[in-house]
Structure 1
């Protein structure tokens, strides 16, 4: 078959894929170039093209052509659950049978594996996390590598630790690439890679310039109109959104930097009469599906989302993207705003930066690769164990939080130092070198990206050109549409009425704090006889905090007060009033001690403070102030058994935090006597809760001393 016949067949498949009964759809020349490289030449290709260029059309058309010529199924590795669902539906239109294996459908995995083996599946979409699952890696992956007709690596920038969304699981692809049969084509795609990331991805995927086609196109998005609206505080940003959301075209996405901020914005917009839905890492899968469907069908004005929505949403007529707060990378920002305007002539993109943005950047930056000492400690623990250790078991031996520990283990696995097996992780005994220079370079790059984001907010030059140059687009020129090219187009005004409502919403204090109910795994190995479920008679109750440090309401007010370098001092009057308001709402809530009913707990008999080595005056004045307003006796504080209190690394894991607290707190004789004399519920007051273990240990001691219930009240929850 010559090129003309092959292209005609490819165009016919495209017409089916896009639902064009007239058959007028045609692959563009650059898309055809990629398809021909895969199908005719069986080459490897790296495609770096803007969002909406049509990367999925390339691999679906190539799949259909290859399958007709006897090739095995296409395997698409993608981190995007939402996009997977979109693509399964799109493939069906062209008669392509697609299935997906990811965390949302474990009950279907066995059936899907059987369908692939019987040749009934044309496309298998796999999440990168599956590549490192023991059963999949050992039993399914070798079969896939032997039978795959086309391997597609979607969002390939995730393989690069220079990229803004590095995922260690992606590096497992190198093993699959090595096992592919000769002549199996490979397609790597991304819309968000600068020249450095492109080179890194090409090298790691074995798609170097000498053997692969690299298609890198201009990143102009002619439909997008970019702008920045600077407002002095969070209430004004929320009020602006409520007043101007209806002015934005169609339906769209409002991005927030944290889950708490997304939930706050959703609640306020609903109060103002908008149909919006929250979409975050906390959103249940069924609710995510419903939210995606509602936005696709324009039943909501917007999804208020964190980066959990990120790359994984395909709605060609998305009319706007608004950011409540700046992402830490202009590349990440370009990727997120690229969801808009793919199938419409005009879409609005607005950034509303906040004072809290950089504090949030610093918080997430703490997930960088751990120092060498902690890595060596982990390797030594695995070597000494002589058996597989799970991540929870390792937490008792290494002071790293679960997410950071698991990410580190995945990197070590790819580097060959550890291996994931049934039951956990083992050491391979292979020599491993800590690449300090590489990690330092990545850290410097992150800092440079943050500075670039500051520069984007402050630039008086074209915003689209700025973003394109961050992605090393040599063709970048002024767009003529953004607020710097064409003049400000977004009105920054906010009415007093809406601002008052936003202030009232963000000033409303009070979030629940769930108690710890299970002891961490591995405590007996540390010589601490705590395991399994915490007895009900030793648990604390569900508590309250004024707010979360990650929210845009009370979080913005509490962060300076609780910062590591903040001076100690009496609790501010407005903070004490807010704590009293939370206490009053708690008392009147269902199950509160002021509510009527046979199961209503008794009123607290007193207030107890958690001792603080860093903010004793703040915590003490807070506890005594609550006691005075509530006309309750202040029973005193728990005491530390050693000067300075327990010493733990900031944000340490549960096992290490509990280890430091074990035996560190005690109930004084005076406090024990007060509890014995009047053994009712007590309010337990502290400044901040992070892991929840200080409250859990303190509650256990107080309940053993005679308290019938412990009710935690803190200023801030760290999560």
Structure 2
């Protein structure tokens, strides 16, 4: 902190660079820091950002508050305000006073890497324990025990790990210097990115050191989320909120485009967008499709898909490629958001609107942090609203699923069950098991121990009123996004008001304020480009990963599927809501076959044959969901082209084929009852490789059960070809 009275002295922002501020008040009046504390804090800030850097008055207020035992502070400030400067300075003060290390709970590995580097620039010894540095855990944990570490950064999920708790957290009991909860909106289930493990943070500090000062920070919390976080921190929480307008961002909304036209728009404009940036997509499939479309049409423009399917190491590599401008853009899902820092990020384009103005603000906040101008463009489509509805309820507990998990754990007591075992015994999908066990752990109904999860004696009740309220809030947020898309007000002011920012006012530079798109942006891409992109994407296919575990009750079998009954990895012709197949999906719904689909199937098999152990010898068609003509004509066409024999399954009628999220076991049992192999057909299968053509499914259980049945009747192997994988 500089002692200079120069009114243009720089202050520190979140990227560790200097920004300008007006003349501060005298330090004694504004902060409550002693001269020695001011000296220590100043040393941290100048090491971070140079000799003229200084804390803002409100940053000093937060730092001073955190020097007191038991202090609670919540900082809700725009990206770039300098929230990390607060906890680095507070850490230095706490350590100088003899306190233990700071524990920073961060959401992403990329954020941890950035924060470790920033802390070290500030003169602090910082370490992280995560899945990417497993080999270094022993050395890191020894240095923590020896009190040689100033800052420990972990994910909220790490706090729930029993081994980490035993080896590391127990050693910090009673001596934590400071707890920092970054991206703290995730603590609140009213927030846009609720993560159950974040709710365990409060239990952690109360258990380890209730007198430890706590700092929670976020750039994206409206009044309701702010109040919820403050309530969890305690009644004496200091809340510092500031204006959330971002003067460097030029917000633009285009007229509605169909999904394929949005891909073409990105391709048409990508070369001329400023600098490098992020193109957000709502789904993993969209991100992967769009990245491939760009690579095919613009082979000299480097892009990459960034999704939650990537390993932490792959994500970190791509983030570094974007920081170093080695890619023009990452085509990303929301997996790239919190924690990513590139001050000169030149643009953010959304191919599809997020369901919440708060999550949208959080994502566009990646751009323009250290530059004067960045372009933010939203390309909406009517189809986005179906995804919004899914997001509104996706993280809420299903009572039937919860009861299935709890009863299974009770029956297994005192044995702990892993997520894999719970999936197999309940039929609940693995991702849902992971989410629900974390939520139940927050409620104290289950506990994670070595080897898995166990039931506690705390009862569980479904709080319908609470969850109905969450859905209602999310639907109101969707209404705000409809207003944003329709351009009913200044775009920046609308985002500010959605975050309850009293300083909201027209920005004068967005597409609503200007009454037009900025120069260089077109409303519609060239029609021939749209057609070309669609044709190129229709040559793609997706792998169909075989299920490896039986679903348990009421199917009657659980555990790993024997190798002699399992399907081989398969192929999907049309995946989910692929925009390149939109018109053809309408034909499929009418049970009509197009030559384009037949030709696509042949090309998929031609590509697939390189990974076959044995060439298929017989084709079996299975109309699982009411498309008999499409399924049969495709099977006949492939049999003719490949000179393959035909065999069949029988399908018992008059039973619903609907699928239940809670009922993988119920669905598998239903297919086991409905499917059969006649004796005459079994003779055609004996010792032969089967190509199984199935019309449609979303879960894959029909493929799994049919493959097991065919193999039990003598088929050497089963290669599944799924025409349409429903979302």
TM-score when scaled to structure 2? 0.88
Match of 2:680 in 1: 670
> Aligned ranges for residues 118-133 of structure 1 at < 5 Å?
118-133=146-161
Match of 2:534 in 1: 503
Match of 2:17 in 1: none
- Among 526, 550, 558, the alignment partner of 1:520 is 550
C-alpha deviation, 1:480, in angstroms:
0.6
Aligned-residue Cα RMSD (Å) equals 2.7
- Among 600, 612, 620, the alignment partner of 1:608 is 620
Once the two structures are overlaid, the 10-residue window that deviates more, 150-159 or 289-298, is 289-298
Match of 1:477 in 2: 505
Match of 2:109 in 1: 81
Once the two structures are overlaid, the 10-residue window that deviates more, 397-406 or 77-86, is 397-406
- The question of 1:494 aligning with 2:529 is answered no
C-alpha deviation, 1:429, in angstroms:
1.8
**Contact 1:325–1:352, Cα closer than 8 Å, also in 2:** yes
Distance change in 2, residues 1:299/1:569 (3 Å): closer
C-alpha deviation, 1:301, in angstroms:
1.0
Match of 1:245 in 2: 270
Distance change in 2, residues 1:557/1:420 (3 Å): farther
Question: CA separation in 2, counterparts of 1:471 and 1:193?
Answer: 6
C-alpha deviation, 1:236, in angstroms:
1.9
> Aligned ranges for residues 305-344 of structure 1 at < 5 Å?
305-344=332-371
**Contact 1:173–1:205, Cα closer than 8 Å, also in 2:** no
**Contact 1:396–1:526, Cα closer than 8 Å, also in 2:** no
C-alpha deviation, 1:468, in angstroms:
0.6
TM-score when scaled to structure 1? 0.89
Q: Deviations over 1:379-401 (max 9, x none)?
A: 33322332222233333443432
**Contact 2:249–2:374, Cα closer than 8 Å, also in 1:** yes
- The question of 1:453 aligning with 2:511 is answered no
- The question of 1:694 aligning with 2:689 is answered no
**Contact 1:618–1:687, Cα closer than 8 Å, also in 2:** yes
Q: Deviations over 1:539-572 (max 9, x none)?
A: 4333221232054433x4576678xxxxx64234
Distance change in 2, residues 1:2/1:448 (3 Å): closer
C-alpha deviation, 1:656, in angstroms:
5.0
> Aligned ranges for residues 476-625 of structure 1 at < 5 Å?
476-486=504-514, 487-489=516-518, 490-516=521-547, 518-520=548-550, 523=552, 528=556, 531-532=559-560, 534-535=562-563, 537-554=564-581, 556=582, 569-573=590-594, 577-587=596-606, 589=608, 591=610, 601-602=614-615, 604-612=616-624, 614-624=626-636
- The question of 1:72 aligning with 2:103 is answered no
**Contact 1:610–1:685, Cα closer than 8 Å, also in 2:** yes
**Contact 1:192–1:471, Cα closer than 8 Å, also in 2:** yes
Question: CA separation in 1, counterparts of 2:458 and 2:558?
Answer: 35
- Among 703, 706, 717, the alignment partner of 2:711 is 703
Q: Secondary structure at the match of 1:27?
A: coil
Match of 1:565 in 2: none
Q: Secondary structure at the match of 2:647?
A: strand
Distance change in 2, residues 1:201/1:452 (3 Å): same
Q: Deviations over 1:466-492 (max 9, x none)?
A: 111111111100011100112321322
Match of 1:596 in 2: none
Q: Secondary structure at the match of 2:549?
A: coil
Q: Secondary structure at the match of 1:457?
A: helix
Distance change in 2, residues 1:427/1:261 (3 Å): same
Once the two structures are overlaid, the 10-residue window that deviates more, 325-334 or 492-501, is 492-501
In structure 1, stretches of 5+ residues that fail to align are: 563-567, 594-598
Distance change in 2, residues 1:559/1:146 (3 Å): farther
In structure 2, stretches of 5+ residues that fail to align are: 1-31
C-alpha deviation, 1:249, in angstroms:
1.3
Distance change in 2, residues 1:666/1:365 (3 Å): farther
Q: Deviations over 1:210-256 (max 9, x none)?
A: x1211011100010000012353223211211121122211111111
C-alpha deviation, 1:293, in angstroms:
1.1
- Among 421, 428, 431, the alignment partner of 2:449 is 421
**Contact 2:303–2:330, Cα closer than 8 Å, also in 1:** yes
C-alpha deviation, 1:631, in angstroms:
6.4
Question: CA separation in 2, counterparts of 1:512 and 1:646?
Answer: 27
